[in-house]
Structure 1
Amino acid sequence: MDIAESVLARFWSKVTLDPTGCLIWTAGRSVYGYGRFFWNGHSGAAHRFAYMALVGDIPAGLSLDHLCRVRHCVRPDHLEAVTPRENTLRGENHVADQARRTHCPRGHAYTPANTRLKNGKRECRTCHNQARRDKRAASKSA
């Protein structure tokens, strides 16, 4: 990526070092907290610009994960090119939270034998079978 010195100087003028070692983007940010930088005729993510300027192109099909978890950090060694799925699962969101769970709310392990998929979500077979038995017993006693 061939970048003019003036563009690099403008970019780095908008960055400060914080005590944790992150290079913090101090200019505009997206609604999601990622730094925004205008170069080459378009606005893009500041961390992507920093990575491409100092490391190289981001491989096709990969996205950048902020290892420091600071969305407006532009330090290239705090960024790792990973698949979008890996990036999501490493995150702090409900999808990642669900994926990290190893047991159902009642304590049964999510094993291949004890797990079924329903509408794309994991369901505990033990709990599902117990609910069916309870429903059948209730209908017989009614």
Structure 2
Amino acid sequence: MAARVCTAARRGSVTRRHEECSLMAGKAALPARRSPRVTRAAAERFWEKVNKVGPMPAQGLVRGACWQWVAGKTAQGYGGFHPAKGEMVLAHRYAWEALRDPIPPGLVIDHLCRNRSCVNPDHLEVVTLAENTRRGFGISTWNRLKTHCPAGHTYSAENTYIHPRNNGRICRACARERDRQPHRLSSYRRKKEAA
């Protein structure tokens, strides 16, 4: 019988066989960790829908061509694969689980090549949702890159208030200007200024 890979005693990228694993001494061998979705028939159908000579990524973060998903895609541009009847998984997640390890709960796959239909595992990385959002090109990234408010004041430490509820930045100079408007003054200050 072939030795099974120990999933409990990983040391970086090196895995040990159960016979050598000190954590498994006296315990029955565990099966290798693979997602139940990755079956032989489904895997063959999956790889028929992949073009491994796709475009080269525009980003300089990865090497090699993208493995382009050529079958159906979601509205957001990610590949969609049906490993079983009535089940749909994202193609890049299926490729990662088929060629690497299962994706831990609470983590997502980031496309380092920024090509949503790429399923090349060398172009993918398991990260938290917050890290994936930081790396992306969404509205939060564009706002984070802004150095000046719409009125032209710099977002410096002295001139910026961080809102406690949503971590949004508020320009203090603009807030002072806004608070001086007549409709924002208290009745006491309005009477004082009228006199």
TM-score, length-normalised on structure 2?
A: 0.63
User: What is the Cα deviation at residue 33 of structure 1?
Assistant: 0.6
- Aligned partners of 2:92 and 2:66: how far apart in 1? 11
SS of corresponding position for 2:68: strand
Q: Give per-residue Cα distances to partners, 1:93-126, cap 9 Å, x unaligned.
A: 2122112323323131242762231762321112
- Aligned partners of 1:28 and 1:19: how far apart in 2? 18
- Aligned partners of 1:26 and 1:110: how far apart in 2? 47
Name the structure, 1 or 2, with higher relative contact order (CA <8 Å, separation 6+): 1
1:73-84 matched pairs, under 5 angstroms? 73-84=118-129
Task: Tell me which of 14, 17, 22 is aligned to 2:66.
Answer: 22
Assess if the C-alpha contact under 8 Å between 1:108 and 1:126 holds in 2: no
| 1:125 equivalenced with 2:172 (yes/no) | yes
Number of residue pairs matched by the alignment: 139
Query: Where does residue 111 of structure 1 map in the other structure?
Result: 157
Q: CA RMSD in A?
A: 2.3
SS of corresponding position for 1:88: helix
Assess if the C-alpha contact under 8 Å between 2:42 and 2:84 holds in 1: no
Assess if the C-alpha contact under 8 Å between 1:89 and 1:99 holds in 2: no
Q: Which amino acid aligns with 2:95?
A: A
Q: Give per-residue Cα distances to partners, 1:44-75, cap 9 Å, x unaligned.
A: 10000000111101122110111111111001
Q: Choose between structure 1 and 2: higher helix proportion.
A: 1
Structure 1 vs Structure 2: percent identity of aligned residues?
A: 38
**Bigger Rg over Cα:** 2
- Aligned partners of 1:75 and 1:116: how far apart in 2? 40
Assess if the C-alpha contact under 8 Å between 2:160 and 2:169 holds in 1: no
Query: Where does residue 47 of structure 2 map in the other structure?
Result: 12
Segment drifting more, 119-128 vs 77-86: 119-128
Q: Please, which runs of 5 or more residues in structure 1 have no aligned partner?
A: none
TM-score, length-normalised on structure 1?
A: 0.84
Q: Choose between structure 1 and 2: higher strand proportion.
A: 1
Q: Please, which runs of 5 or more residues in structure 2 have no aligned partner?
A: 1-33, 57-64
